[in-house]
């Protein structure tokens, strides 16, 4: 397969690239790194990305920023960060990707465990992740008649990211990026659609 991987240089993205790159061609993309540059918060940038890739067999996103902070101090502008970046950024990618997938192609997005298990200071991330999972459930129904699939991966906090995010996840059992990458392989090479594949 020819797979477009957005966020390929991140911790999770690198693991996904290693796992899927064993059998497939990976086109790496990111805001600041990768073979291709793309800003998922910009319509024109995403449209240009697919002009450069042409038709692909799968599109994966392992990227997206959210705001972490106490609800009491949160501003609408801070909450909007996650909406514009991780939520709308991945939705924008999916909306464009559907028109550039080969027959039987798939889209795989990334949410996270706190959609189901909220944490302190994680209101924005919980809302964004839950919205992504809702988008995928609904989008799958409309993509199905066209022979296309969409899924979302919900990983726990990563072992490799515990130095940065560990304090936010007390009592959570971190998973390796490699284990999370297997769920992306299952989404790309499998048959399911509209599902949230949890790696907890």
pLDDT at 130 (0 to 100): 98
Rounded Cα–Cα distance for residues 31 and 184 (Å): 21
Length of the chain: 200
Mean pLDDT of residues grouped by 10 in the chain (200 residues)? Answer: 98 98 98 95 98 98 97 98 98 98 98 98 98 98 98 98 95 98 98 98
* pTM (2 d.p.): 0.97
What pLDDT, on the 0 to 100 scale, is given for residue 146?
97
157 close to 113: Cβ distance less than 8 angstroms:
yes
The confidence score (pLDDT) of residue 166 equals 94
Structure tokens that stand for 36 in this block:
């291709």
Q: Which of 38, 42, 39, 15 is nearest to 26 (CA)?
A: 15
CA torsion sign for 125, 155, 104, 24 is: positive
- Phi, then psi, of 91 in degrees rounded to 5: -65, -45
What's the confidence (pLDDT) of residue 62?
Answer: 98
pLDDT at 131: 98
For position 117, what pLDDT does the model report? Answer: 98
How high is the pLDDT of residue 84?
97
Give the pair of three-digit tokens for residue 58. 């799968």
């Amino acid at each position: 397969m020819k797979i477009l991987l957005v966020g390929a240089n991140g911790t999770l993205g690198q693991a996904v690239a290693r796992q899927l790159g064993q059998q497939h061609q990976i086109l790496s993309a990111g805001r600041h790194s990768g073979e291709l540059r793309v800003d998922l918060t910009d319509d024109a940038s995403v449209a240009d990305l697919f002009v450069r890739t042409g038709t692909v067999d799968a599109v994966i996103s392992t990227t997206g920023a959210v705001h972490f902070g106490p609800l009491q101090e949160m501003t609408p502008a801070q909450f909007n960060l996650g909406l514009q970046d991780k939520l709308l950024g991945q939705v924008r990618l999916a909306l464009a990707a559907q028109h550039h997938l080969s027959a039987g192609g798939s889209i795989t997005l990334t949410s996270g465990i706190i959609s189901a298990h909220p944490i302190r200071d994680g209101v924005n991330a919980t809302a964004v992740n839950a919205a992504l999972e809702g988008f995928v459930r609904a989008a799958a129904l409309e993509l199905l008649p066209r022979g296309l699939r969409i899924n979302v991966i919900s990983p726990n906090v990563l072992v490799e990211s515990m130095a940065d995010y560990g304090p936010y996840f007390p009592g959570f059992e971190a998973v390796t990026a490699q284990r999370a990458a297997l769920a992306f392989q299952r989404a790309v090479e499998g048959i399911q659609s509209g599902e949230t594949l949890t790696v907890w």
